Structure 1
Amino acid sequence: METPAPNKTSSKPRIIELDALRGAAVIGIVWMNIYVFALPAQGYYNPTVWGPGLGEASRLDRIIWAISFVFIEDKFRTLFAILFGAGCLILLERGGGRPWRAHYARMAVLFAIGAVHSIFFASNDVLRVYALAGCALPLLSALSARALFAICVGLIALHVGGGIVALGVSVLDFYKGREASDAAIFAERVFGSNPASVQYMIDQGRLAWGDRIAGRIEGFGSQLTVVASAIPINLAAMALGMGLWKSEFLKGKWRLFLLQRCAAISALFAIPGLLGLAWWVSGNGFPASIVGMTGLVLSAPFDTTLGLAYAALAMAFFRSDAPARKRMAAVGRLSLTNYLLTSVILAAIFASWGLGLFAEVSRTQALVISFVPIAAMVIWSPIWIQLVGQGPIERLWRGGSRALS
């Protein structure tokens, strides 16, 4: 996501590869966000929790889970955060009057937008995390690219270490057969097939809109604990994005063979690790404790590295002046609006006030439906850019930030 972009009269030229990369990120996020809207929460990480089909359909759902786990889950979220960090650094470097104050005004408005989004549409909203993690970015802006890369690695280590401390007991209990331990019971409720827990999440997903909003307002404070726990891994990606900007990677100045080498090395590190984790989970029959540990914790270094590989491939691919580049760049210029628009579309499909398809589709069927908001973004974005320019939510963000600063 980009911080507020210059308007159409700005003298600063846009980097079209960066816009196109942003468009790819916001599209990729839909392929995982669809499961938040379509399935009980436990089914997001665990394919055995939910799926109307049996036999072949059930096996297909597991294959879709494996593909998503290795190639999609958290990779595009990482890419989004990388671009957010780079976008914030761009504005900080442009300076102007009181750049820090302007930055914190942007973060305050972004948090407010995310709060509204989380209450009305998507409880997994990431904008609140970005706003809170973004408060640290001015402190990092003067560092060299090498220092920023080191901070990225350190924050990933912090995330993994903290996750192991928090969830490691449940994994040990699984291997020791302690299914009745507190840690094992907690993991089963959050990541497993506990019937009562799954039914509770189904009931929550089918609430009327008014009841859902009231519940989310009531639980907003407690949800901030979950938001805070995601700060280190997202800040790691933002620091990486700042380093990539300073190293001129995101400025489109790396030679093609360097981009290809970066993508190859990153993928060769990440993909075997993710395949190994997927084998560990599926080979043990998707136990809740291992599902949680792999999905939230152990995959993080590989997710970040594969996100970097995608960035390198996209920067290489979008160098060519192809129609796909221009259309993807249009999607990226409206990244904040498109991110929120997908939630509106998905809610209209799955929520009780819409078509009411929540908990009525399999993982595979949900993936097919995800192409509805993707198609909407690809179609409407170039038209809006041509006729209006800046996106409506981008305009709101910029205007609110100016009012505060």
Structure 2
Amino acid sequence: MVAPQPSSGRIAELDALRGIAVIGIVWMNVHVFALPIQAYYNPLAWGGESPLDRLVWAASFVFVEDKFRTLFAMLFGAGCLILFDRGRAASGPGKAWRAHYARMAVLFAIGLVHAILLANNDILRAYALAGLALPLLAPLSPRALVAVAIGLMALHVGAGIVTFGGGLYDWHMGRFSSDATFFMERNFGTDPAAVSFMLERGQETLRERVVRRVEGMPGQLSAIAASLPLNLSAIALGMAFWRGGMLAGRWRTFRLQRLAAVCALVAVPALLALAWFVAESGFPGALTGAASLVLSAPFDTLLGIAYAALAMAFFTPGGFATRRLATVGRLSLTNYLMTSVILASIFASWGFGLFGTVSRAEAFAFGFVPIMAMLAWSPTWIARFGQGPLERLWRGISGLFG
């Protein structure tokens, strides 16, 4: 997702990369809509009994989970930097700052509504809050931005180790009665009472959901704050790769392929080993949570970079796949939100009510529904209107304040 831009002067490969990111997000989000939250991390919690379900978990852990969030955040950073630089050149830094902060305020409001009505794991609010730091990062060189990204990643991993350390130590020592162990099992493990509670919550009405989410806003903001170093790290990388020319399409194919290969050769073996270790250990809550949220984070980022480099290497402006994915990317905000509408219609109690009734593999298959919808409707909409409805709304409201 990227800050709204006029239709002229676009880079087709960058739009297509954004299309890949919003499609990949579907395969992350579908399990949030379809299964109790513990099952998002832990296949033994619910819907992961068969070998196929375990394979889907492993493939998602290694190749999907947080890789496309990283890619999405990188493109958000690049898009905001594009607009900030244009605004600064046209009307000076003061007005560019005001316009940027107006966009972030409107984006946060959109994300808030999205989270209350549809998606517990909305990322727009985190991007909007992380985006407050972008004008401070904008003057930095690509090398400095990469250094900032590494520092923020180290902060995320360090804080995560502190958070999960007690539970990991208890698990390692074979102690299963501490408060830390109970917390980890309730949130990332297979605790029957916790899973049953989330299954019941999945049957709540839309009105019950809205009331609960509004009342739980302080807790949501705490979770968003904890995610800011990780998201800002990816955003800073996107700014660095735009400044350095990679996302602008100025790198040679060999250089892009070399970057992708190096990142993938580091990330994939590490993620495979981590997935194997978690599975062989029996998916204990503390280890499963730490592996998903903390230990995998540097490698998730590296694989997200590899995806970006590969896409920029092989996309061609006139190619069919590039053109089709570019239309999806130009509607990235609309498509991201419409994906939640489609998935809620399938799984929520006010839709077809399939929450908790499908396996992990079946949920993954349902992810093709919004993906096919995006690929089908995006070219027609772009050809007729040139800009997505929610992109137009975001840009229009932001313009009133910026």
Q: TM-score range by the shorter chain?
A: over 0.9
Q: In the TM superposition, what whole-angstrom CA distance separates every residue of 1:28-62 from its partner, at most 9, and x where no partner exists? A: 000010000000000000001112x75xxx21111
Say if 2:270 is the partner of 1:273. yes
Asked if the contact 2:267–2:303 (Cα under 8 Å) also holds between the matched residues in 1, the reply is yes
Tell me the TM-score normalised to structure 1 length.
0.97
Number of matched pairs: 397
Contact 2:317–2:323 (CA<8 Å) still a contact in 1? no
- The percentage of counterpart residues that share the same residue type is 62
1:32 to 21, 28, 39: 28
Equivalences for residues 92-131 of structure 1 within 5 A: 92-94=84-86, 95=88, 96-97=90-91, 98-131=95-128
SS in structure 2 opposite 1:301?
A: helix
For 2:218 and 2:345, locate their aligned partners in 1 and report how far apart those are by CA, in whole Å: 26
Which residue of structure 1 aligns with residue 370 of structure 2?
Answer: 373
Output the CA distance in 1 between the equivalents of 2:237 and 2:97: 20
Looking at structure 2, the residues matched to 387 and 100 of structure 1 have their Cα atoms a distance apart, in angstroms, of 32
Structure 2 distance, partners of 1:310, 1:367, is: 20
The AA in structure 2 aligned to 1:136 is A
Matches within 5 A, 1:197-216: 197-216=194-213
1:243 to 240, 243, 250: 240
SS at match of 1:129: helix
Post-superposition CA distance 1:322-344 (Å, at most 9, x none): 11110000000000000000000
When normalised by structure 2's length, the TM-score is 0.98
Matched, 1:82 2:74: yes
Distance 1:178 1:404 in 2: 55
Give the distance between the partners of 1:269 and 1:320, measured in 2 at CA.
30
C-alpha RMSD of matched pairs (Å): 0.9
1:6-405 paired onto structure 2 within 5 Å:
6=6, 8=7, 10=8, 13-51=9-47, 54=49, 58-94=50-86, 95=88, 96-97=90-91, 98-319=95-316, 321-405=318-402
Unaligned runs of 5+ in 2: none
Task: Give the distance between the partners of 2:189 and 2:219, measured in 1 at CA.
Answer: 22
Instruction: Give, as a single letter, the amino acid of the residue that structure 2 aligns with 1:174.
Output: W
CA distance in 1, matches of 2:78, 2:4: 12
**Counterpart residue identity of residue 79, structure 1:** L
SS in 2 for 1:230: helix
| Amino acid corresponding to residue 196 of structure 1 in structure 2 | A
CA deviation vs aligned residue, 1:43-87 (integer Å, no higher than 9, x gap): 000001112x75xxx211111100000000000000000000000
Match of 2:3 in 1: 3
- Residue by residue over 1:331-382, the C-alpha shift from the partner in whole angstroms, topping out at 9 and shown as x without a partner, is 0000000000000000000000100000000000000000000000000000
The AA in structure 2 aligned to 1:310 is Y
Deviation at 1:319, TM superposition (A): 2.3
Determine if contact 2:13/2:317 at 8 Å carries over to the other structure: no
> Could you report, residue by residue, the CA deviation over 1:227-275 in whole angstroms, capped at 9, with x for unpaired residues?
1111000000000000000100011010000000000000001001101
Which runs of 4 or more aligned residues in structure 1 lie more than 3 Å from their structure 2 counterparts after TM superposition?
Answer: none
| Runs of 5+ consecutive residues of structure 1 not aligned to the other structure | none
Distance 1:358 1:404 in 2: 40
Q: Distance in 1 between matches of 2:223 and 2:107?
A: 18
CA shift for structure 1 position 196: 0.9
* Partners of 1:222 and 1:307 in 2: CA distance: 29
